Amino acid sequence: MKASSQQIRNDLNELFKLVQPDLTQWEGQNLLITGGTGFFGKWFLETLSFFREKTQTRLGRIYVLSRNPNDFIRNHPHLQNFDFIQGDIRSFSFPKSKIHGIIHGATAASAQLNTDSPQEMYETIVEGTRRALLCAKESPNCRFLMISSGAVYGKRNLSEGPSKEEDFVFSDQAILGDAYADGKRKAEALAASNEFGQFAAIARCFAFVGPYLPLKLHFAIGNFIADCLAGNPIIIKGDGTPLRTYLYPTDLISWLLAIFSRGEKNRSYNVGSDVMISIEQLANLVQKEAMQMGLPDNSVKVMQKPKPNEAPACYAPTVQRAVKELGLNITVDLRDSIRRTIRHHLEQV
């Protein structure tokens, strides 16, 4: 196996130490990963490939659901040694082997799909989760990790503080007017229901930065890094005040595998960093780190002024539940996360 960049290879060496205890318990077990070729999925596959390479532990068969596995393998030939299933998450054929664990991460947070086809977004999330749960139901004692989103908490501002798991308890009540968020709410309720009769833990994921994050979609930090790589000024269309937090993939994957392996049934865990930064501060930090790495000096321009006496929007978690109950921590800070991501892309040139 050869990772797509030396930076990813370095990250995998770090990640191996974090995940080895949790992955070892899956020796001889068959796994299914849905959403296996997106940002999260690529990191899962990189991790599992590296684990196979570095350890004597023999995992069972690892099935990966993808709409276009041939395209994925063509672009990532070092990740071809899995059992790919071609299909739609809403109707895919179940593996014939007994499945011991399912990591359900299908349905990316696509802003365009959420705006242009909200009903399709909602149905893909809900019916895809139902299909994955039916697959789990066919294998008694199958563990199920539902990868959800911090979007289930709805829009918040700084006066309300970071989101705690208790702020939203499983409910299929659609009150947000956001297809992605409502779909994730309904999906959580399905996973936590008694209808399917298997273990399910919920990971509510926030914002991330690292290799494989798309740079040209709706992710602000990805856009900023893309601008720096291209030598373009960073343009913030809003007022730059919204607050975000960012977690690096090595921590993301180690947290998700811990929740998958050790999390409690029907319990939700926030996954993300708890160190907040405004969008304007983030843009300036990306610009500074990029310049220190030899990229051209460029400017940051904020197009709007903050509204007086208005608390900034806040998309951030508290993570004490995962820290205290599962012994997790954050090993890569934001500055290092940005530098590693830029280094990965420079290695692709």
Q: In angstroms, rounded to a whole number, what is the distance separating the alpha carbons of residues 14 and 272?
A: 18
Q: What pLDDT is attached to residue 343?
A: 98
Question: At CB < 8 A and 24+ separation, what contacts does 78-81 make?
Answer: 78/1, 78/2, 78/3, 78/4, 78/49, 79/42, 79/45, 79/46, 79/49, 81/1, 81/49, 81/52
Supply the pLDDT for residue 2.
Answer: 59
348: three-class secondary structure by DSSP: helix
Q: Please state the pTM of the whole predicted model.
A: 0.95
Q: Tell how strand 62-66 and strand 268-271 pair up.
A: unpaired
Q: Which CATH architecture best describes the domain 6-211+246-272+318-332?
A: 3-Layer(aba) Sandwich (3.40)
Contact assessment for residue 252 and residue 12, using Cβ atoms and an 8 Å cutoff: no
Give the pLDDT of residue 173: 65
Buried/exposed 208-244: b ≥16 CB within 10 Å, e otherwise = bbbbbbebeeebbbbbbbbbbbeeeebebeebbbbbb
Q: Which of 144, 266, 281, 156 is nearest to 206 (CA)?
A: 156
What pLDDT score was predicted for residue 118?
86
Of the candidates 167, 169, 180, 321, which has an alpha carbon nearest to the alpha carbon of residue 259? Answer: 321
pLDDT at 174: 62
The tens place of each residue's pLDDT in the chain, 349 residues long, gives 456 799 999 999 999 999 999 999 999 999 999 998 999 999 999 999 999 999 988 999 999 999 999 999 999 999 999 999 999 999 999 999 999 999 999 766 555 554 667 888 999 999 999 999 999 999 989 999 999 999 999 999 999 999 999 998 766 666 567 889 999 999 999 998 878 767 899 999 999 999 999 998 889 999 999 999 999 999 999 999 999 999 999 999 999 999 999 999 999 999 999 999 999 999 999 999 999 999 999 999 999 999 998 999 999 999 999 999 999 999 999 999 999 999 999 998 7
Domain segments of the chain as ranges? 6-211+246-272+318-332
Could you tell me what percentage of the chain is helix, strand and coil, using 3-state DSSP and rounding each to the nearest 5?
Answer: 45, 15, 40
Q: Which residues pair with 143 in a beta bridge?
A: 101
Find out whether 243 and 314 touch, Cβ atoms under 8 Å. yes
Which residues are paired to 85 by β-bridges? 65
Q: Is the dihedral of CA 160, 161, 162, 166 positive or negative?
A: negative
Task: Write out pLDDT tens, residues 137-157.
Answer: 999 899 999 999 999 999 999
Q: What is the pLDDT of residue 168?
A: 86
Angle at 205 between CA 204 and CA 209, to 5 degrees: 175
